[in-house]
A and B are shown apart, each in its own frame.
Chain A
């Protein structure tokens, strides 16, 4: 078996080459990055429109919303950058090109996901970081060392939640011929995550908290920094939720991989 260190080394080696290759298509990189930048800002525009008419959203101010949104942007970036190949899974499965991922002495999810490193996601990550810094200055958040470590743990768990939801949804391709609606739904749901869960109706809030826990991508963990005094105890479980969800997703992936028979040749 290969150690984690070997996998990381291999990952850097593959991505370094991949980025070098992609950089040859410079205009592709620039255009997609600019597009990503503006589409991230579009949601901020929606916030401004909302707050133009209402002073707060279920008790949350504009700047707090910006913080939550910045947290969300950072948290979904690892999914965007490292797991972007999930989107193509259904093509590979249908066309039979998925077979090749069985042929290397590597973990299959690693090998499959390592084939694409989404550069435009970096724009989102950088924008998110900049926004988070801006919002936390405006909100006078006091960043102690403890808080910063907490932020990293919270972001890591949130990223795992988002990755798990998307990868699990993409695995539908192993059993369903046209699996796009499943993945499309998972992708759409992500858009609810930067909003306060308290604005949703009971059934939706329950779903977003316990069933498809997108609340844990941004809103719940952000409370740790915005309203530390009244954080629900559930929030402290978010690392467990992240790791647990990823474990379930990995199990689904393994099931899918084992049930795949390929196309005739």
Chain B
């Protein structure tokens, strides 16, 4: 092969890359069709004798962690992938990141199958997994970034540009010389998130990126994620239990439960759902078996039969009053309770993921 040939193949590769680039514009970045993952799990028996018998047992049951889901995600989207614990979120993410091999169906990220091409997949994605850092624990922050530069073969110019951007966003420079182990959780998460964008990946998976952070750091984190998404047009898949993250970042959400997609669509529709509900947690003095009924009757009398208030006793001494603000304003209910009952403690909580899922089941989005 002489020099001309080499040059020729080089141009061919260039034009191929362009072709892929334009195809990418038409095709979706992540394509999932009828994807499933089943695990066989040994039915364990109790006690020592049971453990011994388990050794020779062939008694397996199949758990369908993910059971025939399909969706497409386009380049540049921020998608909230949410659901209660054990819904199959992690399993899907593990399949998208190339850790797990699907039991059935198709999964393609940028046209490649993650499981079969783990290294290629790793080159085009970034991952942040909750509180588990992927930086080098004993190294100063800047050295971690330099090693990542080497691993992902980022050239110096791009690297400098990126570090400049991160400096503007999170003031990274003042952390440069600190060992990762000495960073606070918030600082470390910021470093982890910026590190996951260093090689300009096409897709970044963020799993619980704000867990355990205080409100101001949470807000910072969200604005950084949003900024990076806009500047780079990076696709972001966000799994979280914090509905605040979802509200702040996502245009689209996919709700999954028991391995199936419950809802896939615009956030606005769902937003009205969990935005409208608030739960009052009350400690009522002299609580007894009839308290719930008394409350129910009082609400009906005060706000009419269509009051949209659900009452439940969740923990000991606590009564949960969930209010649909579209029907009855929270302030009115609170006022009414405080004047009618003797309450020793009150908390207002946002609706939980479990409740959102329950409402979707109940047909709230139809």
Contact = CB atoms under 8 A, between A and B. Distances in A.
Given A18-B138, A261-B100, A262-B99, A105 B152 contact: yes
Contacts of A107: 119
B123 A21 contact: no
Given A13-B147, A18-B139, A265-B208, A100 B98 contact: no
B129 A102 contact: no
Interface string B21-39: 0000000000000000001
A14 B135 CA distance: 12
Contacts of B138: 18, 21-22
Given A96-B132, A102-B118, A105-B152, A14 B147 contact: yes
B132 A104 contact: no
Given A13-B150, A17-B139, A262 B127 contact: no
A262 B134 CA distance: 16
A265 B151 contact: no
Given A261-B100, A262-B99, A265-B129, A106 B139 contact: no
Interface string B198-230: 000000000110000000000000000000000
Contact of B122 (A18, A104, A265): A104
Interface in A85-122: 96-97, 99-100, 102-107, 115
A265 B147 contact: no
A260 B39 CA distance: 12
Nearest to B143: A17
A233 interface: no
Contact of B99 (A9, A14, A99): A99
B119 A106 contact: yes
Interface in B119-140: 119-120, 122-123, 125, 127, 129-130, 132, 134, 136, 138-140
Interface string A254-265: 000010111011
Contacts of A103: 97, 122, 125, 127, 134
Chain B, interface size category, equals 20 to 34
Contacts of B39: 261
Contacts of A139: none
Given A18-B138, A21-B139, A264 B85 contact: yes
Contacts of B207: 265
Given A261-B39, A265-B207, A265-B208, A102 B132 contact: no
Contact of A10 (B97, B150, B179, B208): B150
B50 interface: no
A21 B118 CA distance: 30
Given A104-B151, A105-B120, A265-B207, A258 B101 contact: yes
B86 interface: yes
Contact of B136 (A18, A97, A99): A18
Given A100-B129, A105-B152, 20 more contacts: A1-B119, A9-B150, A10-B150, A10-B151, A13-B150, A14-B136, A18-B138, A21-B140, A96-B132, A103-B125, A103-B127, A103-B134, A104-B151, A106-B151, A107-B119, A115-B136, A260-B99, A262-B94, A262-B99, A264-B85
Interface of B: 39, 85-86, 90, 94, 97-101, 118-120, 122-123, 125, 127, 129-130, 132, 134, 136, 138-140, 143, 146-147, 150-152, 179, 207-208
State the 10 A-B residue pairs at the shortest beta-carbon distance, nearest first. A21-B138, A105-B122, A105-B123, A103-B127, A17-B143, A105-B119, A100-B134, A102-B99, A265-B90, A17-B139
21 contacts: A10-B147, A13-B147, A17-B139, A17-B143, A21-B138, A102-B98, A102-B118, A103-B122, A103-B125, A104-B122, A105-B122, A105-B151, A106-B119, A115-B136, A258-B101, A261-B94, A262-B90, A262-B99, A264-B86, A265-B129, A265-B130
